[in-house]
Amino acid sequence: EGCLTNGYLDTTVDWIPGMREMRLRDLSSFIRTTNHDDILVKTEMEEVDYASKAWGVILNTCDDMEREVLGALRSFFPRIYTLGAMGELVDQIGGGLMASTRLSVWREDRSCMEWLDSQSEASVIYVSFGSLTVLTAHQLAEFAWGLAGTDHPFLWIIRPDMVDGGVRTALPEEFIAATKGRSFFASWCHQGQVLAHRSVGGFLTHGGWNSMLESVLSGVPLICWPTFADQYTNCRYACVHWGFGLEVDQEVTRGQVSDRVRELMEGGKGKEMRERSKKWKEMAKQATRRGGSSHMNLDRLAEDLSIKETQSES
């Protein structure tokens, strides 16, 4: 516990090939342990071992987003195929297949889209912490009052199982009253459609990789609050390397949440982030179009598999 509060996690990590400006806190929580028998560490090591023995490795990213990391990885895994963002690539090839396919964990609330239609352009903060993150009642209250402390409307996805002790007792009635008329709550939604909506101007997120890619494809800047696994690394890249994110401290406070929302939606830095988000959006879209890096890598994968099959038959 002391290492979490004494500044040790801010130690610079400069020995990982392809990864610059990283701190210990930016590494996956699965490997931030001193116990080499930890089950999550063993799982990570097994995955790396499997990948090293595989014929090839497919990654849901695109070359421009992680060029240095990919360059380092190719010295360990020579046959890497970057096909990201895969959902967009499938849409490009399949004529909107992903848009018409529902792979949702929970039933989607379509009424939130009607509410978004009634909001001004780029005025709404979309809030979602994914399908696994669980908050304490205190954390939920800090986020709630942080959102209430600004004048910006927000759409908040609150799963029934998202809060220890249940959601109904966690959200203060005073908060509901204070934000009436500029807030909308749903248990789940079609995130890609929400992020692509004209009224959404920012995304308060846990920083899961799918959420990262969806925000990039929509050109929406981020406020990140990572909670476990690779979310810490994703957050660091969004905030430092890609330049379209702001981080919220692990010990979340309502004051910082309000400050981050204002900076993103009103501040000069937020304006810069929005411009960068647009550039990354175009880059990601281009990668999946014919002639783009991900599209060409898919063609290369198909060709290499065909050659491999021919060789195995001869």
Q: Do residue 130 and residue 161 come from a single domain?
A: yes
Q: Which of 257, 208, 205 is nearest to 228 (CA)?
A: 208
How do residues 264-296 score in pLDDT, each as one tens digit?
999 999 999 999 999 999 999 999 999 999 999
Q: Do residue 137 and residue 26 come from a single domain?
A: no
Query: Is residue 97 a part of any domain in this protein?
Result: no
Average pLDDT, the chain: 91
Q: Which of 227, 197, 274, 60 is nearest to 130 (CA)?
A: 227
Residue 96 has pLDDT above 70, yes or no: no
User: At 5, which helix (H) or strand (E)?
Assistant: helix 2-5
Q: Do residue 201 and residue 249 come from a single domain?
A: yes
How do residues 144-176 score in pLDDT, each as one tens digit?
999 999 999 999 999 988 888 776 667 888 999
Q: Do residue 158 and residue 267 come from a single domain?
A: yes
Q: Do residue 197 and residue 259 come from a single domain?
A: yes
* Beta bridge partner(s), residue 124: 200
* CATH code (residue 50): 3.40.50.2000
User: Please, which pLDDT band fits residue 122 given cuts at 50, 70 and 90?
Assistant: very high
pLDDT of residue 105: 64
Q: Do residue 259 and residue 309 come from a single domain?
A: no
Alpha-carbon span 15 to 247, nearest angstrom: 24
How do residues 210-264 score in pLDDT, each as one tens digit?
999 999 999 999 999 999 999 999 999 999 999 999 999 999 999 999 999 999 9
pTM over 0.85? The answer is: yes
Query: Is residue 102 a part of any domain in this protein?
Result: no
The token pair at 209 is 């990789």
Query: Is residue 196 a part of any domain in this protein?
Result: yes
Q: Do residue 220 and residue 293 come from a single domain?
A: no
Q: Do residue 63 and residue 163 come from a single domain?
A: no
Q: Which of 36, 197, 55 is nearest to 120 (CA)?
A: 197
Query: Is residue 103 a part of any domain in this protein?
Result: no
The token pair at 175 is 């908060």
Query: Is residue 282 a part of any domain in this protein?
Result: yes
Alpha-carbon span 283 to 281, nearest angstrom: 5
Q: What is the DSSP letter of 219?
A: T
Q: Do residue 23 and residue 143 come from a single domain?
A: no
Q: Do residue 32 and residue 58 come from a single domain?
A: yes
Residue 99 has pLDDT above 70, yes or no: no
Question: What residue numbers bound the domain in which 224 lies?
Answer: 111-286
Domain count for the chain:
2
User: Please, which pLDDT band fits residue 314 given cuts at 50, 70 and 90?
Assistant: confident
User: Please, which pLDDT band fits residue 10 given cuts at 50, 70 and 90?
Assistant: confident
Query: Is residue 264 a part of any domain in this protein?
Result: yes
Query: Is residue 98 a part of any domain in this protein?
Result: no
Q: Do residue 136 and residue 247 come from a single domain?
A: yes
Residue 1 has pLDDT above 90, yes or no: no
Q: Do residue 257 and residue 125 come from a single domain?
A: yes
